[in-house]
Amino acid sequence: MNDRPQREYSNVSVIIAAFNEERSIAEVVRRVFRSLPGAEVLVVHGGTDGTGSVVQSLAGELPRLRLIPNPHDRGTGHAIRVGIAHASGEVHAQIDADLQFLPEELPRLVQPILDRGADITLGSRFIPGSVREPGSTPLLKTLGNRTASLYASLACRHRITDAQAGMKGWTRTAIRQIELKSDNYSYEAEIAVKGALHGMRVLDIPVTTLKRFTGISHVNVLIDGLRLLWDITRFWYEGRFGQARGRQMTS
C-alpha cells in the first residue's frame, strides 16, 4: 500500500494498452490506483472482448479512470501513442495489462521524474534489485532481448539493459521531443534510443516480472526480433540526422 499524498500523483497519467484483457484489467486498474493515488489512469482498448465494459463498470467508483476506445488498433505502440494524445498529466507512466509487472512498483518509475532526476525511466529485469519469477522470461526471449538491448546501447551510446520491458515512465516534454512513431513493440526501444540521442536523462529501474497471468504473447522472437533490430537502426538515423536537419532549418 502506498501512503504518499494524492496530490503528489495528481499530475501523473498511467497508460494501460489493453487488447482483450477482460480477465485481468479490473485487478490491474485497482492496483494502479492504490499504488498511485490521485493519478489519472487511461485504458486504451483495441480488442473485441469485454475489457471496455469492465472498465466502464469501474468508472463510477474511480473518477480518474478513463476508457479510450481504439477501434483502429495497429499494435501496442499505436495504443501507447493514442494514450499519450489523451493524457492530461505532465508525467506519464506505462504498464502492461497482463499482470506480468507489478503496479505496486510504479512509484519507483515516476518518483525519479517527479524529483527532476530523470526524463525517462525504463523498467529493467536484468539489473541488480530486479526479480524474475522462474518461467517469466524464457531463454529465447531473454537472448533476443539481450541482443536488442546491446544493439540499442551501441546505437545511442548509453547503456540500455532491457529494451523491451512493459513498464516505463517519461515526461510530456520528453515524449513530444521523441516524436514517437512506432505502431509495434519497437516503441519501447524507440523511447530509449531517441531519448538518449536527444541528451535526455534515461534511468534504468529494477522491476519484478511474473509469469503471464492471462492471455498469450503475440511476439514472434525471430520475426519481431529482426524487425526490432532494423527499427533500432532507423531510430538511430532519425535521432542523429533528424536533429541535424532541425538545427539547419532553425539556423
Pair 122, 204: CB distance under 8 Å: yes
pTM listed for this prediction: 0.89
Q: How far apart are CA 4 and CA 40, in angstroms?
A: 15
Residue for grid cell 516534454: 173
Chain segment 191-221, per-residue pLDDT in tens: 999 999 999 999 999 999 998 766 555 666 6
What separation in angstroms does the CA of 163 have from each of 28, 98, 142?
Answer: 23, 18, 11
Banded pLDDT at 251 (limits 50, 70, 90):
very low
Confidence of residue 222 (pLDDT cuts 50, 70, 90): confident
Tens digits of residue pLDDT in 138-151: 788 888 889 999 99
Q: Which grid cell sits at 183?
A: 505502431
Strands 40-45, 208-209: pairing kind: unpaired
Condensed to tens digits (0 to 9), the pLDDT of residues 147-181 reads 999 999 999 999 999 988 889 999 999 999 999 99
